[in-house]
Chains A and B, each alone.
Chain A
Amino acid sequence: MDHPKPASPLVSHATCEHLRHKGMYVMSVVDPAEFQFYDKYDATAYWCTKTQKPLGPDGKAAHASACHDGRECCSH
């Protein structure tokens, strides 16, 4: 079977189809108490499938907050 469409709570349908991070391949069950032992933080390492690096083809950072509509290299 194909890999399930890589998904993550960190990305939405508006996010570029080429954006990836480890959590999209790890099938975790989040402990509901996860953020009761510390506040939210972002240790996510994103990458672009086109460059295989944390920078997109346009040289800007690949990140859920940046890889979406309006960015030239973004596609869905």
Chain B
Amino acid sequence: MADTPQVPEVNAPSRPQPHEKYPWPAEPTLVGKRIQRVDGPIKVTGQAKYSYDINRPGGLHGRILRSPHPHARIVAIDLSAASKAPGVKAVMAVLQPGAKVMFQGEEVAALAAATEEQADDALRLIKVQYEVLPHIATEALALREGAPQVFKDGNIKAGDTEEAGDLEAGFKAAAHTVLAGYATQVQTHVSLETHGCVCEWDGDKLTSWVSTQAVHGTREQFAKALDIPQANVRVITEYMGGGFGSKFGPDAQGIICAKLAKQAGAAVKLLLDRKDEHLASGNRPSSASKIKAGVSADGMLTAFDAETWGTGGAGAGSGFPLPYIYVFPNRRRKHRDIFTNAGPQRAMRAPGHPQGCFHTEMLMDELADKLRMDPLAFRIKNLPPEAPNAMWRKYFPIAAERFGWSKRHVTGDPTPGPIKRGMGCAANRWGGGGQGTKAHCEINPDGSVVMRCGTQDLGVGTKTIVAIITAETLGIPMELVRAEIGDSNYPFSGGSGGSTTAPGVSPAIRVTSGMALDALKAKVAPGLGVDAATLVASNGRIHVKGDPSKGLAWRDACKQLGMEPLAVDGQWERGLSASGTSGVQFAEVEVDIETGVSKVTRVTCVQDCGLIVDQLTAESQCIGGIIGGVNYALFEDRILDRVTGHMVNPNMEWYRIAGPSDIPTIDITLMNQPERGVIGIGEPPTISTAAAVANAVANAIGARIRSIPITPEKVITALAEREKTGGTL
């Protein structure tokens, strides 16, 4: 039971004491500017080597045979014909007779062959005899009376009940109540670079080029699963094409790849195809709710009572935060996880938050409609008090002004014609914060600098911020800095998830480069006849503070190192990062009430993330998050056939994502909070887009669609329902 009120407490680490020795500069020359990615040119010219681009001498191609059944027992596996097929060098059963498969696409057997075609041909020669078992494809089927119990502990796992306040008193105080249900779909990750790796053994040492969000974490899991020392594993991820939370280890395919490579005595490349990716590499679980909520006549939330459920597939949970952000003083929420025979969920960008945001923000609009109150004013009235990690009271008006909220019409666009326009809004929050990263800095006698850190760049610009902070601290151009990341042989850094990379890595780079600079100052100070403590680095010089003429050019200073590079190791320290972000988004849509097609035309985003390290890449995070949110609102949907349990759209044709013409005009205002230090921005901007879009659709057409994706079919159906009842909301 919750025993704390929904009131923020402002203390560290949401607003830390600044770092004593290496605080962020008050007047930075690089930090916070619009700086393009250091690896942009080699990415757009195709020179960047992703895992798929790694071709080892004599390398083989791996393939996985997956279950066609959503639930079955394996009776027999015959690998003999496949093992004799041309080019085949290794074959293995992943599951043994007697084992059960629990979802379509589960790994059953695998092989490696000299060419992709030989691997594909041989895979068809593996004979698997299945005993097909009853399956559950959807939450509704799992909840049906008499449903087959396909999981050993039952199809339903009841979660805790969270309660606070006095629910009965809350409903007594309500002048209006809303009783409604909302739902969100299963969304697969759709990373442009699929999951997988290349594995190569040298005796008992494994090197793997993996598409992963955690080079060190993946090394640990390879070692654990293969029962070898971590010291014998090296994981490399120089470039990566997205992960969104789904790439935190080698996965089944990684372990299979390593075993095939061992068996074959050759490197094996095993990356998933798009169908595999949809079936088995993770997803955002579905969510559904039945909510009763009350509001007083003066627009204050009084009560919230919800039952929620969702499916994370075979054996995985589906929790999400609810109610989200707004203060319901009296509340109760019961949640159930529904197990289905479907590919299991994994962490996906802001796990749980887009769902919780959608349910709550839809409800907020419905309550505002009951009151005949502007939904924005209603929201602001019910927000927690303002704090560094709770800035919605400030951000909503800023975004409303930029967006033109004053032009919003009441629900149901009265404009003649088939195109109806509407506006909606929603808030988000996320924790972020990071720690634990270590780094190694070398200043070379020629003035070049290497900063090594065992973090990884998911495609968001981590390598760039490493170079920015190093150059900023050393007072040199970024061109002199080589940022080396994405290798488990480099100093430890945590996995890139939960918006923790920038706040975990940035302080480590600041401290390490600051220590390196101090060491260089100590080398050059005697020659200048000054105390090293009086020296600063700026504009490519090391000089006495306040007297740039008394000093040395950077390269001349570095020459004094002689033949020995200067090398220091540093790590993350407190006072340079924090956690807790807030943001708001407004969306404008156009809905064609003849075709039912919705189009998001504009999104306005006001978002904080603490100290902005690179304005450009921070904005890019917002753009990517908002596009993902538009996809969630209008397009993406994993559809399972109720009868066969098969996914009917495991591709990028029928599993729809936005194309260029679907992407709205995006207006981003980043609220810099330098006094808080660095906080991540990976998760927040994707949280509230779908809720804002769904509210905008309701505002446009005067009928509320309470589930996403908002398909043309749902729009037409909602309009028909509204026609039948003869009214608007």
Contact = CB atoms under 8 A, between A and B. Distances in A.
A49 B494 CA distance: 18
Given A39-B321, A45-B317, A55 B579 contact: no
B335 interface: yes
A76 to B, nearest CB: 13
B157 interface: yes
Contacts of A43: 317-321, 347, 351-352
Contacts of B497: 22, 25-26
A20 B64 CA distance: 24
Contacts of A58: 152
Contact of A52 (B9, B157, B255, B345): B255
B495 A22 contact: yes
Interface in A10-67: 18, 20, 22-47, 49-55, 58-63, 66
Contacts of A33: 8-10, 14, 387, 389-390, 580
Q: Is the interface of B mostly helix, strand, loop or mixed?
A: loop
A14 B323 CA distance: 33
Given A27-B504, A43-B351, A60-B152, A52 B252 contact: yes
B378 interface: no
Given A59-B102, A59-B152, A28 B500 contact: yes
B628 interface: no
A27 B248 contact: no
A30 to B, nearest CB: 6
A2 interface: yes
Nearest to A62: B315
A41 to B, nearest CB: 4
Given A27-B435, A52-B249, A41 B319 contact: yes
B215 to A, nearest CB: 10
Contacts of A62: 315
A36 B351 contact: no
Contact of A55 (B102, B432, B493): B102
A7 B317 CA distance: 20
A38 B322 CA distance: 6
Interface string B2-38: 1011111111111000000000000000000000000
Interface centre among A31, A36, A47, A61 (most CB of B within 10 A): A31
Given A3-B220, A52-B251, A38 B434 contact: no
B704 interface: no
Contact of B162 (A1, A25, A36, A39): A39
Nearest to A41: B319
Contacts of A47: 249
B8 A1 contact: no
Interface stretch (B85-93, B223-231, B667-675): B223-231
Contacts of B255: 52
B429 A37 contact: yes
22 contacts: A22-B347, A25-B494, A28-B498, A32-B12, A33-B10, A33-B390, A37-B8, A38-B322, A39-B321, A40-B2, A41-B159, A41-B352, A43-B317, A43-B347, A45-B344, A45-B346, A53-B252, A54-B344, A55-B102, A60-B153, A60-B315, A61-B157
Given A2-B231, A36-B6, A37-B324, 14 more contacts: A22-B495, A25-B249, A27-B434, A36-B7, A38-B356, A41-B322, A43-B317, A44-B319, A45-B316, A45-B345, A51-B252, A52-B225, A59-B100, A60-B153
Interface of B: 2, 4-14, 100, 102, 106, 151-153, 157, 159-160, 162, 164, 214, 216-217, 219-221, 224-225, 230-231, 245, 248-252, 254-255, 282, 312-325, 331, 333, 335, 339, 344-347, 351-352, 356, 384, 387, 389-390, 429, 431-437, 491-498, 500, 503-504, 577-580
